[in-house]
Structure 1
Amino acid sequence: MRVFVAVVPPAPVVEAVEEFLQPRRDALATQGRWRWTRAEHLHLTLAFVPDLDAWREEKLIGAGAEYAARQRPLNLRLRRAGAFPDPGAARVLWAGVEEEHPDTLAGWAAGIRRVLSHAGARLEGTRFTPHVTLARSVGGRHPAGHLLQSLDTLLTPVWTVPELVLVASWLGEGPNGTPRHEVRHRWPLGREGTDG
């Protein structure tokens, strides 16, 4: 099972992103170079497992709950934009993430990767850059400097992250060949003031 652990923005933030992106997507609709992320798929990935054995999921859920309970909720907002691997030849357009306490997300990513590893999961990726994917290129890399100028004014409301989410993803099973996501478990974060 293909899974990831993520922070999922609440509906008002998703709506703000959609309102911001709509005229930009419409302007680019004829180019066909970018596949925009569906609103319900907007998330910030902390760790990705390309193939989790189903029998490991229960152990992972318990360990994830213990980890999340020790973490404090965090205030975030999406701000500005960027491209991977670079604006001149981009595969991914993304929204940046502004943290109330810098490096907390990096700490969560490292911590949840340890949890996944101890549960026997094989992780993919090593470098963590907090971001929310807005679009992926179609047919190879494309220049994106002009897009980033348009996207760089993105600024959402601040929200408090109340939980980490374990999501299963099935490639090609969603509308128009997009992935289908299923929330497998929600791990509430510890209350404010909890030692983390």
Structure 2
Amino acid sequence: MRVFVAVVPPAPVVEAVEEFLQPRRDALAAEGRWRWTRAEHLHLTLAFVPDLDAWREEELIAAGEEFAARQQPLEVRLSGAGAFPDPGAARVLWAGVDEERPGTLADWAAGTRRVLSRAGARVEGTRFTPHVTLARSVGGRHAAGHLLQALDTLRTPAWSVDELVLVASWLGEGPSRTPRHEVRHRWPLGKDRA
């Protein structure tokens, strides 16, 4: 099963992103170059496993519980925009993340990747860049400098990240052949500090 560990923004932040994106999506709809992320799929991935053996899930959940209990909640906000691999030939448009304690999300990403590896999962990923995917290109890479200028003004309300989420993803099983996501477990942060 495909799974990822993520930070999921609360409803008011998702609504702010949707309100911000709507006129931009409408303006670009005729081009058909971008597939925009559905509101319920907005998340910040800390670690991704393309194929987790189902029998390892319980061990992973227990290890994740221990990891999350040692972490303190963190205040973040979505701010600005970027593109992977670069604005001149973009495959992904994303919102940036401002952290109350810079580097904490990178520490969480490294920690969750270690937890997944110790639970026997093969973790995929490159250098961690905290972001929330807003859109993916359709039909190859596209120049996105003009879009990034419009998206760079995104600023959401801040929120306190108080849990990490384990999500299973089934490709092509959602509306319009998008992925179907299922929250498998929620790990509250900071239980050791309570």
Aligned counterpart, 1:20? 20
- Following TM superposition, by how much is the alpha carbon of 1:83 offset from its aligned partner in structure 2, in angstroms? 0.2
Aligned counterpart, 1:80? 80
Per-residue CA deviation, residues 134-160 of structure 1 (Å, 9 max, x unaligned), is: 000000000000000100000000000
Per-residue CA deviation, residues 27-72 of structure 1 (Å, 9 max, x unaligned), is: 0000000000000000000000000000000000000000000000
CA distance in 2, matches of 1:147, 1:178: 23
The secondary structure found in structure 1 opposite 2:183 is strand
Per-residue CA deviation, residues 65-90 of structure 1 (Å, 9 max, x unaligned), is: 00000000000000000000000000
TM-score for both structures, normalised by structure 1? 0.97
Q: Which amino acid aligns with 1:65?
A: E
- Following TM superposition, by how much is the alpha carbon of 1:125 offset from its aligned partner in structure 2, in angstroms? 1.1
- Following TM superposition, by how much is the alpha carbon of 1:104 offset from its aligned partner in structure 2, in angstroms? 0.1
Matching of residues 117-128 of structure 1 within 5 Å? 117-128=117-128
Structure 1 stretches of at least 4 aligned residues deviating more than 2 Å after TM superposition: none
Q: Which runs of 5+ in 1 are unaligned?
A: none
1:89 aligns with 2:73: no
Aligned-CA RMSD value? 1.1
CA distance in 2, matches of 1:162, 1:106: 16
Identity over aligned residues, as a percent? 85
TM-score for both structures, normalised by structure 2? 0.98
What number of residue pairs does the alignment pair up? Answer: 194
Matching of residues 39-50 of structure 1 within 5 Å? 39-50=39-50
CA distance in 2, matches of 1:112, 1:25: 33
- Following TM superposition, by how much is the alpha carbon of 1:162 offset from its aligned partner in structure 2, in angstroms? 1.0
Aligned counterpart, 1:142? 142
CA distance in 2, matches of 1:143, 1:126: 23
Aligned counterpart, 1:194? 193
CA distance in 1, matches of 2:187, 2:21: 30
The secondary structure found in structure 1 opposite 2:143 is coil
